[in-house]
Chains A and B, each alone.
Chain A
Amino acid sequence: MRKRNGFKLLAGAVLGVALVCGAFGTHAAIEGTPRAGAPHYLGLFGASIRPNDGAIFVVGAKCLVMVSTDKGKSWVQLPIRVRPGGPLFQDYDLYSIAFAPDGKTGVIVGEAGTALNTDDGGATWKKVNTGTTKTLLKVYVDGQNVVAVGADGAILRSTDGGTSWQMEKCPLDITLFDVTFTDPNTAWAAGEFHTILKSADGGQSWTIATGGHTENFEIGPYFTINFIDPQHAIAAGLAGELATSDDGGQTWKTSSLPEQVGTYTVAYDPTAKQIWTAGSGGRAFVQGADGKWQPAPRATFNDLTDIAFAGTEGVMVGLNGTILVSDDAGEKWQAVQ
């Protein structure tokens, strides 16, 4: 099955990854432990393609942060420290990673209120104090403005690239699974009870855009929300439930995927102009220009947790160390072994 890589034996060996030149300058060299892929026994939860140069960053269980600067062929695991103690104590799960458009500022969030930030394009990460122990499930970085959401109504905001944080008030005591921005002021979050929240002040204050019926336990969550453009949005949740908006989030219509599959991530591929969903059991669907959902060829049976696209490059990650990469805008996906 999966190849277990022996690189752990070389732990401590330091590799200077080639300097990568981007349109806006040079990223710092990334140092860490070389790896062929992610360990099969760790789940991966977040993926991000660094703007400018296409370096792929993935984050996962037990402080796993890996970078590939060659489209997934080889990886470097970064040393991450979030708890006092030796390497075996670095066991918090990291759930989301995001970069600002400049590719310099980036934030990672995770279990127990964990957050790390970088100002050198992800070469080095610094643990920052968020003032909470609530699990942070998703982060969005819009320049220096950063919003993270998570369990039990956690909404955290930073205006200095993730260095200092303040807790914002959530109108409902629900878990929020995803957050996104359509412009520097307008932010959206998705969560339990088919709830979508909106902020018009860059994430400071939030109102219920739709859902919020917390008394009805038969209503499931939306795990993910994404805006294709300022007008068109899509959210997805349990059993293939979808919510779409064509009017900039004013009204939402429910629909569903062809199959009742738990859907954990929705992404827009700007090159092929297709919307992707991915989720439980490795099931992914693509919506073409005709608006019809087609199942994508199944590349894994593991739950898929995140998708990212940039140019023709695409990456999907999932449980059990799953990484799929595409260099043709999602035509074909190649598993990283």
Chain B
Amino acid sequence: MASSSVSFGSFKIGDFVLRYRAIIGAILLIISGVAAYYITQVNIHTEFDDFFPVRHPNVQLYEKWRKYGGAQTLSVMIQVRHGDIFNRDTLQKITDIQTAVDKLPGVDHNQVLSLASYRVSYAEASPGSLLIKPFMFPAPPTDNAGIQDLKRRVLANESTISYLVNPDLKSARVQAAFNERGLDYRELFYEVQDIVKKYQDDNNRIYVAGEPIIRGYGYYYEPEVVVLLLIAVAIMIIILWATGGQRSRWWAPIVTGTLSAVWGLGFVGLMGYDFDPVMLVIPFILTARDMSHGIQWQGRYHDELDRLGDKFAACSATTDFMLPPGFLSIMADISGIIFISFGGIPVLQHIALAGTVWLAGSLTMVFIFQPILMSYLPVPEIKHRRVRAEKGALSAWASRQFDWLVHVPTRGGLLRTVLLGGSALFLVYGIVSGIDSKIGYASAGTPLYKPNAKVNQDIATVGKEFPLEEGWVILTTPAYPNQISVLGGPVLRMMDDFRSYLLGNDPKVLNVVSYAGAIGKPFNERFHYGFPKYLAIPEPLELSANLWFLYLNGSAPGELERFISSRLNDDTCIRILLRDHTYDTLNRIRDEITQFVDERVTPDPVLNPADPKAPRVGVYYLAGLAGLYLAANDVLKKLDFLNITFVLGVVWLFCIGAFRSIVAGVMFLLACVLANFGAFIYMNARGIGLTIDTIPVVSLGIGLGVDYGIYTVSRIRDEVMAGMEVDDAIVLALSTTGVAVFNTFLVMIGGIFPWMFSPLLFHSEMSTLLIFLMATNMVAGCIVLPCYISWARPSFVFGGKAMSRERELKAAVS
């Protein structure tokens, strides 16, 4: 009797499962039933906060100072084709859009800003008075004189209103912030689309940008994604039928796959996690993975049936043979996904935990529930072998090629040398690419969608006219009337220096908006007859406080709070408006702020007195959306390294445990690196960075492919231990297990392939990446490893001391 290379000593798990099949089966079905109930609780929803690492200082800073507005801003830009925005029609549209945006679900009413907002005001000097008036509230001017007057006011206040009206006067925007918790992106997205439809015409083009729209597009594409999902399922079923169709139980993997999906999704519902439609590709990988295990199992079951002739014996033997390597490969899969939870990013934690439960479900369903199910069903019939019967010239040719292929590892010679040498080179290149991998976003738009997608074109169009990304620097100071309160000259001066420092150093900085520059200086100027030389820091403190008071009383409620959140005047928010949120931009900004603090704040004896007990100015950065992205980048950078280290560590340990050989561990480790660091080659070539969206997929991909090699090498080892010649064992393993592995590969590809045509760039890139990964793993597991084994003859396959002992032990048991 053939013995399993990997077993739990003398304990026969297969016999145990079959002996208690009723109880075990019932328990598993009850769990599945409960899980099925929780699937109804799954919420297809996107929670913005979940995308960022909660323990990162930037995220905590953002949470603490959330009163300065949400990080998610929506920009609705109206751009005229002819003339400028100063015509009755366009001004009316701006007013209407302002009103419509103010009615959007979840909008922060204090933060809806445009030329038409009553919170957007200017100060006018006339002898003896200073008047603060909104630009265009409550209604736009209707006569030409009024319109020209408005235009003059906008031009005169260009530096303060340029974030809402572009200086070329052809574009204006309505900007809105949102209350993040519980934002319904689907509803928001469609309501924004309604605004676009309603107000767009030939002369007035409307473009929308911002995080809520980016996330909302996931829902927009949902119908197409569902169609792709159905196509992918259909293809998987067809492949399943084609590979196992000569047997009547070819559909069994669908049952086990569905049940594991029920476990996984039920867990998501039970835990109350949100399910982002963009992430749909992940459950799909898991299902495809599950099916491929199912196919492996069925293949072996049929082999055992043929060999043993008895249903129960075959179920028991298949369980014994398949559970250990199945356990190993699923553990590798789990290790691929569980470590991404370490970064403290809630979305990744959810994916990691749900994925782990899902994979655990796979393990249980495929390797325990499946034999129970099979034991209750009649022996699968062998149907008429149509395919084999119609063997023609083509399949004869195919079979010759196949025969040639399975002999490649044992034939030796140049081809094998080239294969092994090439693999070694690829391995090195992969490692280099892995070290060189980029973190964060590489382009200005969103990498979730294609560069030519409407959302990215809109972002590019709006981004050309207005800044879309915002980073916050928070200052804390002693309260007024301290000389270094927010209103104090030294603090205002430093804020203003910060602006010119950033604008002078970094072309990615479009503007720096602070109380000093947006209110303090212009009000000082207005207060002094609008005389430009008074566009200066208001000093002394009393003057500054008077101007603050004038602004407070003259502006709309909540307007001052964008700058100074408290009436004590002991904190303020400086907003850095950025051109994009790429990795380089964000890192550079942080470095520049650090340098500014080191050279301008720390050495300033007024802001940072020598007396440690004296009150001082605190500078905290970076909050706002830019800060959140930066936080994610920081965590992902560490996570990427940690994750890969852990996954490889686990693969190594498991292989050492399973094959009782360090050489085996190292061999699989190198095979794993060889096959999976190709991901980085692909990503670097395509300019894809590691982001919250891509890291789970890449990570999962690393765990997925390693079992190809495990299955193949296990089989070779099994046959060698059963007394077969090495090269014969390799040929046999490749033509049996190798074929099953290839079938699994096909199922995976079939399931992933349709996603290449997804309207979401993320889906198509990730599916391409996964196919690439599956293929490299195929080649590594089925060709390169056997080549290596045939060439190097490692002792764990060919009988080291441990193996001899094992063989004796097995012989004794049998």
Chain A residues proximal to chain B, CB less than 8 Å? 1, 4, 6, 8, 39-43, 45, 61-62, 85-86, 88-89, 91, 93, 95, 111-112, 135, 137, 175, 177, 217-221, 223, 238-239, 262, 264, 280-281, 301-303, 305, 318-320
Contact = CB atoms under 8 A, between A and B. Distances in A.
Contacts of A239: 126
Given A41-B504, A88-B596, A62 B497 contact: yes
B535 A8 contact: no
A143 B5 CA distance: 104
Given A217-B127, A238-B127, A89 B600 contact: yes
Interface in B118-132: 125-128
Contacts of B158: 301-302, 320
Contact of B533 (A85, A219, A305): A305
A41 B497 contact: no
Interface string B743-764: 0000000000000000000000
B135 to A, nearest CB: 15
Given A86-B603, A217-B128, A305 B503 contact: no
B532 A62 contact: no
Given A88-B501, A262-B530, A280-B530, A43 B535 contact: yes
Nearest to A2: B167
12 contacts: A89-B600, A93-B536, A175-B528, A238-B125, A238-B530, A262-B529, A262-B530, A262-B531, A301-B155, A303-B532, A305-B533, A320-B158
B493 A223 contact: no
B499 A238 contact: no
Contacts of A89: 497, 600, 604
Interface string B583-597: 000000000000010
Contact of B159 (A91, A175, A281, A320): A320
Contacts of B600: 86, 88-89
Contacts of A221: 529, 531
Nearest to A4: B507
Interface in B460-503: 493, 496-497, 499-501, 503
Given A88-B497, A301-B155, A39 B503 contact: yes
Identify which of A1, A88, A264, A281 gathers the most chain B CB atoms within 10 Å of its CB.
A88
Contacts of B533: 45, 93, 95, 135, 137, 177, 305
Interface of B: 125-128, 152, 155-156, 158-159, 167-168, 493, 496-497, 499-501, 503-505, 507, 528-533, 535-537, 539, 596, 599-600, 603-604
A42 B500 contact: yes
Contacts of A223: 529, 531
B604 A85 contact: yes
B155 to A, nearest CB: 5
B536 A111 contact: yes
Contacts of B603: 85-86
Contacts of A62: 497, 500
Given A93-B533, A218-B127, A223-B531, A6 B604 contact: no
Contacts of B126: 238-239
Interface of A is mostly: loop
Contact of B532 (A219, A238, A318): A318
Given A6-B507, A42-B500, 17 more contacts: A61-B500, A88-B497, A88-B501, A89-B497, A89-B604, A91-B497, A93-B533, A111-B537, A217-B128, A219-B127, A221-B531, A223-B529, A238-B530, A264-B531, A264-B532, A281-B155, A301-B155
A320 B532 CA distance: 11
Contact of B168 (A1, A262, A281): A1
A308 to B, nearest CB: 16
A218 B155 contact: no
A41 B600 CA distance: 19
A320 B499 CA distance: 13
B360 to A, nearest CB: 55
Contacts of B529: 220-221, 223, 238, 262
Contacts of A111: 536-537
Contacts of B604: 85, 89
Nearest to B517: A41
B590 to A, nearest CB: 18
A221 to B, nearest CB: 6
A218 B128 contact: yes
Nearest to B539: A112
Identify which of B155, B530, B531, B533 gathers the most chain A CB atoms within 10 Å of its CB.
B533
A319 B532 contact: yes
Given A1-B168, A8-B504, A85-B603, A41 B531 contact: no
Nearest to B540: A133
Nearest to A1: B167
A88 B601 CA distance: 10
B152 A281 contact: yes
Contacts of A177: 531, 533
Contacts of B125: 238
Contacts of B596: 88
A320 B155 CA distance: 13
B127 A280 contact: no
A95 B531 CA distance: 12
A186 B126 CA distance: 32
Contacts of B128: 217-218
A273 B600 CA distance: 49
A243 B128 CA distance: 20
B532 A43 contact: yes
Contacts of A238: 125-127, 529-530
A175 B527 CA distance: 13
A302 B496 CA distance: 19
B159 to A, nearest CB: 7
Given A93-B536, A223-B531, A86 B599 contact: yes
A318 B573 CA distance: 29
Nearest to A133: B539
Contacts of A40: 503
Nearest to A93: B536
A26 B603 CA distance: 41
A303 B533 CA distance: 10
B504 A305 contact: no
A175 to B, nearest CB: 8
A41 B530 contact: no
Contact of A305 (B159, B499, B532): B532
B500 A8 contact: no
Nearest to B498: A88
A291 B251 CA distance: 100
A135 B528 CA distance: 13
A9 B8 CA distance: 67
A137 B532 CA distance: 11
Contacts of B535: 43, 61, 319
Contacts of A112: 539
A39 B533 CA distance: 17
Q: Report, nearest first, the 3 A-B pairs whose CB atoms are least far apart.
A: A217-B128, A88-B600, A220-B127
Contacts of B531: 177, 221, 223, 262, 264
B504 A39 contact: yes
Contacts of A137: 533
A112 B537 CA distance: 11
Given A4-B507, A39-B500, A88-B599, A45 B532 contact: yes
Nearest to B152: A281
B503 A280 contact: no
B164 to A, nearest CB: 16
A185 B530 CA distance: 32
A285 B694 CA distance: 61
A12 to B, nearest CB: 14
A158 to B, nearest CB: 21
Nearest to B154: A301
Contacts of B530: 238, 262, 280
A86 B125 CA distance: 37
